[in-house]
Amino acid sequence: MGDSEVQEQLAQRLRYLNEISLELTKAPTLDELFRIAVEKGRTKLGFDRMAIFLTTDSPFCYVPTFGTDESGNTRDERLEPSTEWNSTDSVGMAIASHKPIFAREDVNLYNHRGEVVGRGWHVISMLWDGDEIIGWLTVDNLLRHRPLTPQDVEILQLYGISLGHLTTHKRIEEDLIKERNLLRTIIDNTMDYVYTKDTDLRFTMANRPFYLRQRVPQTTSEQEVIGKTDFDHYPEAVAAQYAQDEMGIFRTGEPIHNRQDTQVTATGEEVVLLTTKVPLRDNQGNITGLVGVSRDITDLKRSERDRYDLQLQRDRVDLMNELVSNLSHDLKTSLSIISTSLYLVARLDEPSRQRDKISTIEKQIHRLGKIIEDTLYLSRLHHAVESTAMPQDVNQLLHDLVMVAEPRLAAKHLTAELDLCPDKLSVSTYDDAIARMFSNLLENAITYTPDGGTIKVLTRVQDREVVVEIADTGVGIREENLKRVFEPFYRVDESRSIEMGGAGLGLAIVKQIAVLHNGSVEAESAVNRGSTFRMRLPLS
């Protein structure tokens, strides 16, 4: 063969080499890559027998992939056992030489069983991953006995280098695919909705639970979600809120953790979601999008609410039981006082003593009426929320109540001082509940303050709440009793209270009203110095 022919042949084989490399990049698997490489080495590059072996994790051990039999057919050798090399065999010598290619001429040639099948040249071309040997290509001339040319050596060395690169690449790709499949399996089989979005707020990934959940429009594959935004799935207001949150993440880089929000879907369903959104960044740290994970906690919330409702019902039943038993005790006490007094009225001759007893009877009848009225009011309070709350001017209300109480204040020579906040303080009230609450406290202050005392009514605003204080300079309440004064029918001094006509429900009503209006009430007191009742109600 002349020089130009050799040159032409080399150019042709290099072209083939290029074509084969391109084809191999498209191999779907690593095994397929080896099979094609062996076959093309024979059919295109013109070699006789070619085989590819790979090193393993065990030292000195290698495994076959695909090879060529004595008739020149490709052999699948993947299931054949691994082999160990030693320093005296060709593989051992090739590796020890640290050269990319190792050629020997006129040596025994073997078949896959290790039997000698002929003589000829044998070339080993290394497959490298960086500076590590990951396998090799072996070639001989058993079939056509063509002598080995420098061009063959050059081509085989290039083929080895190219296969080394491709193998490394394919391995990384397969590892990535394996990892991606694992991740995908996990995210598709979680209960949570997992999705990613780009900075234009378009979905770039959506897991199975997410796309199966979309009802309007109904989606059944990830492709139908990708490229869309929340505006394609949710009502305008919901989508706008999400968009605002997400723009905030892109602007600040701050994630949103476990945000709970209630969403009414386009089909009218109410769902409660717990959502975390975290920015996604590229290698330079620039935000490229976000990953969102939402958990549907609607059922959890529902059962939590059911449990709460059940407890509320139980508490109500307990309260009613307690009320009924206290009520019957209270009714009996008054009735027995009335019947004793009646008995005496019939038998007493002295008119002044008779009048005394009649006055006792009147007081007890008044008390019975109050107990019944207060009990009914307390039970009706639970239904008050069904009516609409109306705004009420707190300062005006307190002013009017003090005016109405004027005769009783004057009878006991009590001074009322009003220290009202100059601003208009408006709170929401169901029916006359707030008026009733203040009135009960004012009544108590008058009742439990001896002649000549002072009653102070103060209002102020604190933390968007109206604070109302009704303070007196009366008998006060001991610390151990103070804790219980808001319980229904609790009285500090039973006999005195019964005699004074107290029903023991006044403060229980006050507390119920405060709670019902999302407010609170507390008491401070010192014996013989006076008491202060402080209410807080949200400003409306």
Residue 105 Cα to chain centre, angstroms = 71
Q: How far is the CB of 538 from ligand ADP (least distance, A)?
A: 24
Using the contact rule CB under 6 A, the part of the chain among 38-46, 187-195, 264-272, 483-491 near ligand ADP is 483-491
Q: Which two tokens stand for residue 117?
A: 């099948």
Q: Taking CB under 6 A as the rule, does residue 242 contact ligand ADP?
A: no
In sequence order, what are the residues at sequence separation of 6 or more whose Cβ sits closer than 8 angstroms to the Cβ of residue 456?
Answer: 416, 417, 419, 469, 470, 471, 472
Q: Which is nearer to ligand ADP, 103 or 510 (CB)?
A: 510
Contact 388, 498 (CB under 8 A): no
Pick the binder of ligand ADP from 135, 453, 474, 519 (CB under 6 A).
474
The window from 174-182, 272-280, 335-343, 474-482 that contacts ligand ADP (CB under 6 A) reads 474-482
Q: Where are the alpha helices (DSSP H) in 349-487?
A: 351-384, 394-411, 433-447, 479-482
How near is the Cβ of 409 to ligand ADP at its closest, in Å? 14
Interface with ligand ADP (CB under 6 A), residue from 477, 514, 521, 537 = 477
- Contact between residue 49 and residue 187 where contact means Cβ atoms under 8 Å apart: no
Nearer to ligand ADP, 137 or 513 (CB): 513
**Of 164, 289, 504, 519, which one interacts with ligand ADP (CB under 6 A)?**
504
User: Which range, of 44-52, 246-254, 382-390, 486-494, touches ligand ADP by CB under 6 A?
Assistant: 486-494
Q: Which of 485, 514, 516, 535 is the binder for ligand ADP (CB under 6 A)?
A: 485
Convert residues 14-53 into a mask of x (bound to ligand ADP by CB under 6 A) and - (unbound).
----------------------------------------
User: Nearer to ligand ADP by C-beta: 371 or 467?
Assistant: 371
Q: Which of 187, 338, 398, 503 binds ligand ADP (CB under 6 A)?
A: 503
- Closer CB to ligand ADP, 380 or 496, in the complex: 496
* Ramachandran angles phi, psi of 28, nearest 5°: -70, -30
Q: How far apart are CA 75 and CA 539, in angstroms?
A: 87
Residue whose C-alpha is closest to residue 392's, from 435, 442, 421: 435
**Footprint of ligand ADP on residues 400-459 (CB under 6 A)?**
444-445, 448
Burial label for 60, CB within 10 Å (0-12, 13-18, 19+), is middle
Question: Cβ(377)–Cβ(509) under 8 Å?
Answer: yes
Strands 415-419 and 389-393: unpaired
Q: In angstroms, rounded to a whole number, what is the distance separating the alpha carbons of residues 460 and 466? A: 6
Applying CB under 6 A, which residues contact ligand ADP? 444-445, 448, 472, 474-477, 485, 490-493, 497, 502-508, 531
